[in-house]
Structure 1
Amino acid sequence: MGKAGYGTWKSPISSQITTETGVDLLILGVDGDPNFSDTVYWNEIHFDEKGRYVICSSDKSGNITYWTPPDFNARSTVHEYGGGDFFVYRGVVYFSNFKDQVLYKQTSPTATPEAVTDTSKAFRYTDGRFVPTKSRIYCIREDHEAIKHGASEAVNTVVAINPATKTQSVLVKGADFYSSPSVSSDGRKIAWTQWVHPNMPWDSTEIWAAELSDSGDAIVEGTAHKVCRSYTFVLLYGYF
């Protein structure tokens, strides 16, 4: 057996070996419609494709399907580190594409993804869900267009997207960060979490709720309110 000084031993396991093959599993999710809940979805990092993100699904028989076409990469870059890359409703997969950060929908594993947001805007999207009672997508939008107009950093908001027309409506703004927009089953109310600098989400996060307009494109004036008072412990997960 060879000998070497401390810190100089040549390992046979290189960084190239550990990153050029294999996959890493990321987000796990199910269809937003309970009637389609027999299929599980997740995102994989394919190291042999330069880290491309691929959405996969498995039915109750264990049959695995790969959704993301080779020229797409299902990866959001919101806050640079990403997350919340995709969501599913009634068998339709919606995802952020890494190259252009446009939100796409894919109706089947063999279908070509179709853009549901404007391809000319410097927007990024995460944490989405489709609400059938409003025919809208509710998600977090990170607006880099604002930097072009003098802002020092991107602006985060909660938005409603009409996928048929690609129009967007800002529902909530003003805080530095938002997450987890959730709409009631009847489509009448929306809740979300928010926090501001210098806090991290585990330091001081607020839960807010409001009523949605009939169209789903606005908050009913005067209905937005904080659900719990400051420093109330509600639930903490994923930060350990």
Structure 2
Amino acid sequence: MAPEQRMFGLWPSPITPSALAVALRLNEPAWDTDGQTLAWVEGRSDRGVIVTRRLDDAATRDLTPEISVRAFIGYGGGDLTLARGAAFFVGQADQRIYRQDVAGGPARPITPPFGAASSPAVSPDGRWVAYVHSFEDVDCIAVVDAEGHHWPRRLAEGRDFYMQPAWHPAGNRLAWVEWDHPSMPWDATELRLAELDTSGPLPAVAASRIVAGGAEVSIFQPLFTSDGAGLCYISDETGWGHLYRHDLATGLVRQLTSGEAEHGTPAWMHGMRTFAELPSGALAVIRSTDKGETWSQPIIVSKQVLFDGVRDPDTGTPVRTGDIVPDIAVDPNSGNLYVVWQDQRFSPAGAHHIAFSMSTDGGLTWTPPIRVDKTPLNVHAFTASVHVAADGTVGVSYYDFRRHTSASSILETDYWFVHCHPGTGDCTNPENWAETHIAGPFDMRGAPFAGG
């Protein structure tokens, strides 16, 4: 068959919008209390799906194909836990906690439809679920019964932020991390231990006290030992993040790790963990002996040129974009690396455009940045993403305002896609990138705002 000739930019692309959406993210691994079922959240495009697998079954199963799972408090995380044959998770659409039997059946909400929830933690007897709740910029530790029959009760409030609720094995104590603005969770936090009155349908705090942390001390991941005798946590009070054990009977604190090593991590998100108790009672913890200082020397791809953010061309209002977030992809066959980011070096008017660079030697050296978007030079292009198809074709998607006019009452925004194949053309040449319109226009002024 003779090759078919078409005008430049009109040949079909092997990369489709759906191909861009298949990148898989794995988060929130959790074991059921019987130790036989493992679950995790798979990020598929804009959805989070709980996947489960039993030890005696090689097959995996999607537990939540109809409900996207993702918590939104802070920077997210704390999406899922398993207990007594049920998954407790946060629905992305309404931010309620749902309960769904791992064996099957429908999911049902157990918290009311207001505010947002995160970090569900089921009591050892399975009766209650403690969690972090946020409503109208007010955070708290709350508790609800595991069936959702009762209105939730606030257990702790008055601090700006809360994180990582953890139950005592007897179910009569609860620990969590709390702190106030303007500190971040790696700056100054406190570990609070609460004694619970469990005589009613929902527990209530009978007394509480701070047992660790304070000014310039960060606490991370409280965990009661399975024998109920100790409360373990990570503290950086020595300048390094070490593992400690607080004896609940005597109040004595013992440092379990030593040396110039980190055993915790900055708590950017809920649900993060760096240590766990094994069935034997031993503690398993990850460790960095030099705070990561033995990594190879930084390799600079390019200095990013940014001196102003993307703004609404009519009102001058800032537009939330991915301006400081590059995107990276690797060709699994050739090993080529590709990176894209927003940059203002290409436009005399200071408009943002999409920069592209590639490496063929594992990231040791990078090509000079080129502009790959086809947006007019004085119009913003933003929020780029890069993907590599199975045949090596490189695709980059982005948004722009090229079809907006000042006479319009909305901010017309379109979604575009350019592609290049390294086997048939030099991808460091902007002329070898062809553009396709994916979607739009839509009104950017009506787009959701993350607020962070």
TM value normalised by structure 2: 0.43
- The one of 69, 90, 107 aligned to 1:74: 69
Q: Distance in 2 between matches of 1:17 and 1:130?
A: 37
| 1:171/1:218 contact within 8 Å kept | yes
CA gap 1:189/1:224 in 2 versus in 1, 3 angstroms: same
Deviation, 1:24, is 1.3
| 1:124/1:143 contact within 8 Å kept | yes
| 1:66/1:109 contact within 8 Å kept | no
Deviation, 1:238, is 3.0
Alignment match, 1:83: 77
Q: Distance in 1 between matches of 2:14 and 2:181?
A: 42
CA gap 1:136/1:53 in 2 versus in 1, 3 angstroms: same
* Residue type of the alignment partner of 1:65: R
Q: Distance in 1 between matches of 2:63 and 2:103?
A: 4
Residues 1:28 and 2:54 are matched in the alignment: no
Alignment match, 2:37: 39
Range with greater deviation from structure 2 (58-67 or 167-176): 58-67
Alignment match, 1:198: 182
Alignment match, 1:237: 264
CA gap 1:100/1:83 in 2 versus in 1, 3 angstroms: same
Q: Distance in 1 between matches of 2:80 and 2:112?
A: 17
Alignment match, 2:145: 162
| 2:97/2:109 contact within 8 Å kept | yes
Alignment match, 2:259: none
Q: Distance in 2 between matches of 1:134 and 1:178?
A: 22
How many residues are aligned here?
A: 208
Equivalent residue of 1:204, what SS? Answer: coil
Q: Cα deviation per residue 1:111-167 (whole Å; 9 max; x = unaligned)?
A: 111111123xx22111111114471111111113xxxxxxxxx11000111243141
Alignment of 1:86-97 (within 5 A): 86-97=80-91
- Give unpaired runs (5+ residues) of structure 2: 1-12, 218-236, 244-262, 267-290, 292-452
* Residue type of the alignment partner of 2:47: R
- The one of 165, 178, 183 aligned to 2:162: 178
Range with greater deviation from structure 2 (101-110 or 122-131): 101-110
Deviation, 1:60, is 1.6
Q: Distance in 2 between matches of 1:66 and 1:103?
A: 18
| 2:142/2:155 contact within 8 Å kept | yes
Q: Distance in 2 between matches of 1:228 and 1:13?
A: 56
* Residue type of the alignment partner of 1:54: V
* Residue type of the alignment partner of 2:38: V
* Residue type of the alignment partner of 2:141: V
Q: Distance in 1 between matches of 2:77 and 2:118?
A: 7
- Comparing both chains, which one has the higher relative contact order based on Cα–Cα distances under 8 Å and sequence gaps of 6 or more? 1
| 1:211/1:224 contact within 8 Å kept | yes
Alignment match, 1:57: 52
Alignment match, 2:102: 108
Bigger proportion of residues as helix: 1
RMSD: 2.4
Q: Cα deviation per residue 1:199-238 (whole Å; 9 max; x = unaligned)?
A: 1111111001020002352110xx2111025333555523
| 1:143/1:156 contact within 8 Å kept | yes
Residues 1:187 and 2:185 are matched in the alignment: no
Q: Distance in 1 between matches of 2:71 and 2:14?
A: 31
* Residue type of the alignment partner of 1:106: Q
Alignment match, 2:399: none
Q: Distance in 2 between matches of 1:22 and 1:134?
A: 35
- Give unpaired runs (5+ residues) of structure 1: 1-11, 145-153
- The one of 119, 126, 143 aligned to 1:127: 119
Alignment match, 1:150: none
| 2:97/2:120 contact within 8 Å kept | no
CA gap 1:111/1:160 in 2 versus in 1, 3 angstroms: same
Q: Distance in 2 between matches of 1:202 and 1:16?
A: 39
| 1:68/1:109 contact within 8 Å kept | no
| 2:141/2:162 contact within 8 Å kept | yes
| 1:193/1:207 contact within 8 Å kept | yes
* Residue type of the alignment partner of 1:197: H
CA gap 1:134/1:38 in 2 versus in 1, 3 angstroms: closer
CA gap 1:43/1:229 in 2 versus in 1, 3 angstroms: closer
TM value normalised by structure 1: 0.78
Q: From the CA coordinates, give the structure whose radius of gyration is larger.
A: 2
CA gap 1:92/1:58 in 2 versus in 1, 3 angstroms: same
Equivalent residue of 1:58, what SS? Answer: strand
